[in-house]
């Protein structure tokens, strides 16, 4: 029988002590509480595990500060305990759990994580539980839409097939927060995607349509709807596992917390039209420093987000792009 939230509060100081002890000495430790709550700590993660009674075969969600994951077994000092378990953990390199204030906030979340009411919700809707924990931890929950990652992945595969993307790690940079998604030898490509019917793209900063090293810059525009058979999973199935291409692409997806079996991995779409490419030249609508009388962005303006209507703007096809680059 799971402990009540009031009973769990009695463990609060003990939880904090054990987590900080494990982080401080850097050893792998696992402690069991009340028969079904496990605290664990190793060099990569510190957190809690509870038995999982839901139907999800796999579930992974990550933010920079913590992650939520289904594990099929749990390794303890007394051997392997069969699961499945759902684990809630923080990366000690990202969250300073030796700081009493941060450790206290993390223990508050562990208590919420193992709370009987929350545990019941995990069995039916782990996604909403993840969002709730993210907000409690101070993260404004924000996740790249699956179709946005799908568009980047599809373009990566197109470029690979035609020999234009030769080093996935060095040239596909969007998943790492680079200004442009792809930096090829002869051009830069920014990928935009939408699930709306309108031919409109959102430019997320005043620097996104700025050229790199004066190379030509193109915007690749994908349109999707929420029906169909295209997914990250279907694209990755084109590659045999453990091939260099598969490993390189998976590494990029993993940086965004996308793994096989994840919700985003399986979410399916239909591409409404073939990808269109727009060259960001002098005629392409954009906001630059030259649009201001001072020749620079106004003081105190850190970010400019704007929408570009693509109607009546000339575009080229993939075949056209390949000839140009």
Domain residue limits, the chain: 5-136, 146-324
Average pLDDT, the chain: 84
Mean pLDDT for the stretch of residues 120-128:
83
Greater confidence (33 vs 161) lies with 161
pLDDT at 140 > cutoff 70: no
Pull the structure tokens for residue 122.
Answer: 């995990």
pLDDT at 174 > cutoff 90: no
Mean pLDDT for the stretch of residues 44-63:
81
Mean pLDDT for the stretch of residues 242-269:
84
How many Cα atoms are found within 13 Å in the side-chain-facing hemisphere of 323?
Answer: 5
- How many other CB atoms sit within 10 Å of the CB of residue 229? 8
Listed residue (12, 73, 77, 65) closest to 20, CA to CA: 12
Reported confidence tier of residue 120, pLDDT bands at 50, 70, 90: confident
pLDDT in the model for residue 1 = 58
Greater confidence (128 vs 201) lies with 201
Mean pLDDT for the stretch of residues 28-44:
83
Reported confidence tier of residue 321, pLDDT bands at 50, 70, 90: very high
Residue 102 makes CB contacts below 8 A (sequence gap 6+) with: 95, 96
Reported confidence tier of residue 94, pLDDT bands at 50, 70, 90: confident
pLDDT in the model for residue 137 = 64
Burial of 267 (0-12, 13-18, 19+ CB in 10 A): middle
pLDDT in the model for residue 103 = 76
Question: Do 181 and 151 contact (CB within 8 A), yes or no?
Answer: no
Residue 313 makes CB contacts below 8 A (sequence gap 6+) with: 278, 283, 284, 285
Choose the most confident range, by mean pLDDT, from 7-16, 115-124, 172-181, 214-223: 214-223
pLDDT at 210 > cutoff 80: yes
Please give the helix or strand (H or E) that residue 224 lies within, else none: strand 217-230
pLDDT in the model for residue 153 = 95
pLDDT in the model for residue 139 = 52
Percentage of the residues of the chain whose pLDDT score is greater than 70 = 94
pLDDT at 37 > cutoff 70: yes
pLDDT in the model for residue 115 = 86
């Amino acid at each position: 029988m799971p402990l009540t939230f009031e009973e769990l509060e009695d463990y609060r100081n003990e939880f904090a002590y054990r987590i900080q002890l494990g982080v401080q000495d850097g050893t792998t430790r696992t402690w069991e509480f009340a028969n079904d709550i496990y605290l664990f700590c190793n060099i990569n993660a510190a957190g809690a595990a509870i038995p999982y009674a839901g139907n999800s075969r796999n579930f992974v969600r990550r933010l920079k500060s913590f992650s939520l994951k289904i594990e099929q077994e749990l390794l303890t000092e007394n051997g392997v305990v069969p699961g499945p378990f759902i684990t809630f953990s923080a990366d000690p390199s990202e969250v300073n759990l030796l700081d009493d204030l941060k450790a206290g906030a993390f223990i508050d979340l562990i208590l919420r994580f193992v709370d009987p009411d929350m545990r019941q919700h995990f069995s039916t809707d782990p996604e909403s539980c993840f969002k709730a924990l993210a907000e409690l931890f101070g993260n404004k929950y924000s996740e790249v839409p699956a179709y946005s990652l799908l568009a980047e992945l599809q373009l990566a595969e197109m470029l690979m097939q035609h020999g234009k993307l030769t080093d996935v790690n060095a040239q596909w940079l969007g998943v790492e927060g680079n200004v442009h998604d792809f930096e090829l030898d002869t051009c830069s490509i920014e990928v935009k995607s939408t699930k709306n019917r309108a031919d409109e793209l959102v430019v997320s900063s005043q620097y996104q349509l700025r050229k790199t090293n004066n190379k030509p810059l193109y915007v690749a525009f994908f349109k999707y709807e929420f029906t169909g058979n295209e997914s990250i999973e279907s694209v990755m199935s084109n590659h045999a596992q453990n091939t260099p291409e598969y490993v390189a692409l998976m590494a990029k997806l993993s940086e965004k917390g996308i793994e096989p079996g994840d919700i985003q991995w399986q979410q399916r779409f239909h591409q409404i039209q073939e990808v269109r490419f727009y060259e960001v030249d002098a005629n392409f609508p954009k906001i630059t420093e030259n649009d201001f009388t001072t020749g620079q962005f106004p003081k105190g303006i850190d970010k400019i987000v704007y929408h570009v209507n693509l109607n009546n703007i000339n575009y080229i096809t993939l075949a056209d792009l390949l000839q140009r680059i």
